[in-house]
């Protein structure tokens, strides 16, 4: 019932929030117009599809989502994934292609919404930061390479990044000079604007925050100047500059997408991957912005929000959407207090679609390509690689392999590879546990690694601490370790396993311990346990092994040492030093 009621930001809306929400909504709209046209081009969609995806989804998210500042709509990575999924089954820009994109948004929305109802938000955590970072950076490079053809006005094959680059070198003489001039000029201007426009505006006396926000309007300025240039010079006909052309005016009619079983069968996997990636991207942005204001977001309700946004996109002829990084940050800095800012954007976008689509006629594709390139290169995160490399080589390797996987194998393959790598690293680490033979620190009840510390041991007793849960992939290594220790230490009468870091002990490990205990017993060696955690001990006690060992399980390693020495009042002098 709670979910059907009005969201609390509407119920508790305060008038003083309005100016922030209005300003933010306006600024985001000015960013959204070129971005929605550009990302539609990246997705292989006609321009109006990008515009349609920028209206209802914002309202749907405002009703279901929990982030106060997330800006939903077309984004680069989801657009790339849409193009990748649809390219093999329909011709880019065709009516079939658009219908499939709408269907994919609908399926993705359903999946996300269902996952939200099932409270599966935690699944987002199964993508590790390094994998996400490698995936986003790889996608950004792939997108940049893919946009070179529009930027320079030459036809290049889509697909593998290396092939595209090689084809570029071979057809370098086919570059259309005017197109390339417009594209490169826009690129240089936008790169300059990203770095230097805000300081420049500040020097002209504009308040720092306003300067920061104004600099975000550079893409719109480029669009206006370039459109005016082409309209005035007729460069589209004279020099073959590719332009957006006629964009249908008028709001889209609402309709359920045609659900065809065989199409859904070929789209379910891409829809799942786009849902996963879109959700993870969206939640990370929403979370980092929420933390800055001490707010919380709820991953399960975020699933509902992004799911509703995608279904709304599909109903209004749009393609897959999610929360985007750049627009959300601007929305946040422009003072958005609530999702009302998104509603403002949606209303403004609707007005644009209803009456102003003619203005985009002469907009050159090269400008959109430059917009995309500048937006996505900001996503390439070299710092994350450096940090991971410094902190953890395995994570850095996952990042690099995911990055390479996206570039060399493809977007979908890259993300699947990334997830597989995350899990492989996890399993690999826990399958090679750290184990240390320990002795007592003189005069204390503390036990430490005999190789690192000066400690006391008891002859005949080997105390082994296992620093990992025991389960199928590492149980055998424990047995091997013990057999190895026994070969080096003759005269061992007792093996004491210290299980302070063993949080789980699965059936396979139980089997291995059972066999080990028998095998040791047949050689006259007793197996003992100490510091077994409550939940592990509870289950162990109910097994035949637990029954057999019940007098050999000690609360603390200290007690086990005392028992082995055969005297409850053992002085700290009696054990020999190792």
Stretch of 90-98, 199-207, 310-318, 389-397 lying at the interface with a copy of itself (CB under 8 A): 389-397
**Per rule CB under 8 A, is residue 524 in the interface with a copy of itself?**
no
Task: State the nearest-atom distance from the C-beta of 240 to a copy of itself, in Å.
Answer: 45
Residues contacting 73, CB < 8 A, separation 6+: 32, 35, 36, 53, 54, 57, 58, 321, 324, 327
Residue placing its CB nearer to a copy of itself in the complex, 19 or 480: 480
What strands, in cross-sheet order, belong to the sheet with 447-449? 447-449, 435-440, 461-466, 494-498, 526-530, 553-554
**Per rule CB under 8 A, is residue 539 in the interface with a copy of itself?**
yes
Smallest Cα–Cα separation from 67: which of 249, 244, 325? 325
C-alpha 516/C-alpha 170 separation (Å) is 66
Residue placing its CB nearer to a copy of itself in the complex, 215 or 474: 474
Among 485, 500, 552, 562, binds a copy of itself (CB under 8 A): 500
**Per rule CB under 8 A, is residue 483 in the interface with a copy of itself?**
yes
The crossing angle, in degrees rounded to 10, of helices 365-377 and 18-42 is 110
Task: State the nearest-atom distance from the C-beta of 495 to a copy of itself, in Å.
Answer: 16
Smallest Cα–Cα separation from 38: which of 138, 143, 181, 142? 143
Residues contacting 353, CB < 8 A, separation 6+: 48, 51, 52, 55, 249, 250, 251, 252
**Per rule CB under 8 A, is residue 126 in the interface with a copy of itself?**
yes
**Per rule CB under 8 A, is residue 517 in the interface with a copy of itself?**
no
List binders of a copy of itself among 230-259 (CB under 8 A): none
C-alpha 578/C-alpha 532 separation (Å) is 26
C-alpha 80/C-alpha 96 separation (Å) is 18
**Per rule CB under 8 A, is residue 473 in the interface with a copy of itself?**
yes
List binders of a copy of itself among 299-328 (CB under 8 A): none
Among 108, 150, 357, 469, binds a copy of itself (CB under 8 A): 469
Residue placing its CB nearer to a copy of itself in the complex, 237 or 432: 432
Among 507, 547, 567, 574, binds a copy of itself (CB under 8 A): 507
Task: State the nearest-atom distance from the C-beta of 472 to a copy of itself, in Å.
Answer: 4
Stretch of 137-145, 286-294, 372-380, 561-569 lying at the interface with a copy of itself (CB under 8 A): 286-294
**Per rule CB under 8 A, is residue 203 in the interface with a copy of itself?**
no
Among 249, 259, 535, 567, binds a copy of itself (CB under 8 A): 535
Stretch of 37-45, 150-158, 197-205, 538-546 lying at the interface with a copy of itself (CB under 8 A): 538-546
**Per rule CB under 8 A, is residue 69 in the interface with a copy of itself?**
no
CB 27 within 8 A of CB 21: no
Task: State the nearest-atom distance from the C-beta of 122 to a copy of itself, in Å.
Answer: 7
CA distances in angstroms from 13 to 17, 27, 293, 298, 339, listed in the order given:
8, 21, 17, 20, 11
Smallest Cα–Cα separation from 329: which of 17, 60, 24? 24
Query: What mask of x and - would describe binding to a copy of itself in positions 128 to 167, judged by CB under 8 A?
Result: xxx-------------------------------------
Task: State the nearest-atom distance from the C-beta of 24 to a copy of itself, in Å.
Answer: 23
**Per rule CB under 8 A, is residue 472 in the interface with a copy of itself?**
yes
**Per rule CB under 8 A, is residue 447 in the interface with a copy of itself?**
no
Stretch of 2-10, 26-34, 346-354, 511-519 lying at the interface with a copy of itself (CB under 8 A): 511-519
Look up residue 31 and give its two tokens: 């960013």
Among 309, 341, 498, 510, binds a copy of itself (CB under 8 A): 510
Exposure of 359 in the CB half-sphere (CA atoms within 13 A): 13
The residue behind tokens 């430490």 is: 448
Residue placing its CB nearer to a copy of itself in the complex, 163 or 483: 483
Smallest Cα–Cα separation from 353: which of 250, 254, 253? 250
Among 475, 482, 527, 560, binds a copy of itself (CB under 8 A): 475
Residue placing its CB nearer to a copy of itself in the complex, 227 or 469: 469
**Per rule CB under 8 A, is residue 125 in the interface with a copy of itself?**
yes
Q: What are phi and psi of 562, to 5 degrees?
A: -60, -45
C-alpha 331/C-alpha 35 separation (Å) is 15
Collect contacts of 489-492 with beta carbons under 8 A, ≥24 apart.
Answer: 489/462, 491/459, 491/460, 492/460, 492/461, 492/462, 492/525
Among 2, 11, 122, 488, binds a copy of itself (CB under 8 A): 122
Three-class DSSP labels, 9-76: HHHCCCHHHHHHHHHHHHHHHHHHHHHHHHHHHHCCCCHHHHHHCCCHHHHHHHHHCCCCCCEEECCH
**Per rule CB under 8 A, is residue 117 in the interface with a copy of itself?**
no
Q: Is 387 helix (H, G, I), strand (E, B) or coil?
A: helix
Smallest Cα–Cα separation from 112: which of 58, 61, 53? 61
**Per rule CB under 8 A, is residue 333 in the interface with a copy of itself?**
no
Query: What mask of x and - would describe binding to a copy of itself in positions 403 to 442, judged by CB under 8 A?
Result: -------------------xx-xxx-xxx-xx--------
**Per rule CB under 8 A, is residue 295 in the interface with a copy of itself?**
no
Look up residue 542 and give its two tokens: 């109910």
- How many degrees, rounded to 5, is the angle at CA 28 between CA 25 and CA 32? 130
Q: Enumerate binding residues for a copy of itself (CB under 8 A).
A: 122, 125-130, 288, 291, 294, 296, 387-388, 390-392, 394-396, 422-423, 425-427, 429-431, 433-434, 449, 452, 467-469, 471-477, 483, 500-501, 503-504, 506-508, 510-511, 515, 518-519, 522-523, 533-535, 539, 542-543
């Amino acid at each position: 019932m709670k979910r059907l009621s009005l969201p609390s930001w509407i119920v508790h809306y305060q008038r003083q929030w309005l100016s922030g929400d209005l300003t933010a909504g306006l600024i985001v709209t000015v960013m959204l117009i070129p971005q929605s046209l550009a990302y539609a081009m990246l997705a292989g969609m006609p321009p109006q599809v990008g515009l349609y995806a920028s209206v209802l989804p914002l309202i749907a998210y405002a009703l279901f989502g929990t982030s106060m500042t997330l800006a939903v709509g077309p984004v680069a990575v989801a657009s790339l994934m849409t193009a990748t999924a649809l390219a093999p089954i329909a011709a880019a820009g065709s009516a079939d292609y658009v219908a499939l994109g709408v269907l994919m948004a609908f399926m993705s929305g359903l999946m996300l919404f269902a996952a939200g109802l099932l409270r599966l938000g935690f699944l987002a955590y199964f993508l590790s930061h390094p994998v996400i970072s490698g995936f986003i950076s790889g996608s950004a490079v792939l997108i940049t390479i893919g946009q070179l053809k529009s930027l320079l006005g030459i036809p290049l094959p889509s697909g593998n990044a290396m092939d595209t680059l090689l084809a570029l070198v071979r057809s370098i003489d086919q570059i259309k000079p005017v197109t390339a001039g417009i594209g490169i000029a826009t690129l240089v201007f936008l790169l300059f604007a990203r770095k230097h426009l805000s300081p420049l505006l500040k020097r002209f006396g504009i308040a720092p925050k306003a300067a920061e926000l104004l600099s975000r309007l550079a893409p719109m300025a480029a669009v206006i100047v370039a459109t005016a240039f082409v309209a005035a010079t007729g460069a589209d006909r004279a020099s073959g500059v590719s332009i957006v052309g006629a964009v249908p005016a008028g709001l889209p009619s609402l309709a359920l997408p045609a659900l065809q079983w065989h199409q859904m069968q070929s789209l379910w996997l891409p829809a799942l991957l786009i849902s996963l990636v879109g959700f993870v991207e969206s939640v990370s942005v929403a979370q980092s912005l929420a933390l800055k204001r001490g707010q919380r977001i709820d991953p399960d309700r975020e699933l509902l929000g992004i799911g509703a946004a995608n279904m709304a996109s599909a109903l209004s002829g749009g393609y897959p959407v999610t929360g985007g990084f750049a627009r959300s940050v601007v929305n946040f800095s422009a003072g958005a207090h609530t999702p009302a800012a998104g509603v403002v954007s949606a209303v403004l976008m609707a007005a644009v679609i209803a009456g102003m689509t003619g203005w985009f006629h002469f907009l050159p594709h090269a400008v959109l390509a430059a917009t995309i390139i500048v937006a996505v290169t900001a996503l390439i995160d070299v710092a994350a690689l450096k940090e991971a490399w410094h902190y953890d080589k395995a994570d850095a390797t996952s990042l690099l392999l995911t990055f390479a996987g996206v570039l060399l194998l493809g977007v979908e393959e890259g993300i699947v590879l990334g997830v597989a790598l995350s899990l492989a690293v996890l399993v690999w680490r826990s399958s090679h546990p750290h184990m240390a033979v320990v002795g007592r620190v003189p005069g204390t009840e503390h036990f430490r690694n005999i190789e690192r510390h000066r400690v006391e041991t008891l002859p005949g007793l080997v105390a082994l601490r296992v620093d990992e849960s025991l389960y199928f992939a590492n149980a055998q290594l424990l047995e091997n370790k013990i057999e190895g220790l026994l070969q080096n230490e003759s005269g061992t009468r007792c093996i004491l396993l210290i299980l302070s870091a063993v949080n789980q002990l699965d059936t396979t490990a139980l089997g291995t311990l059972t066999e080990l205990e028998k095998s040791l017993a047949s050689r006259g060696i007793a197996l003992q346990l100490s510091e077994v955690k409550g939940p592990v001990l509870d289950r162990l006690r109910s097994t035949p092994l637990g029954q057999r060992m019940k007098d050999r399980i000690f609360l603390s390693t200290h007690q086990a040492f005392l028992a082995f020495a055969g005297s409850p009042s053992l002085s700290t002098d009696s054990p020999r030093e190792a």
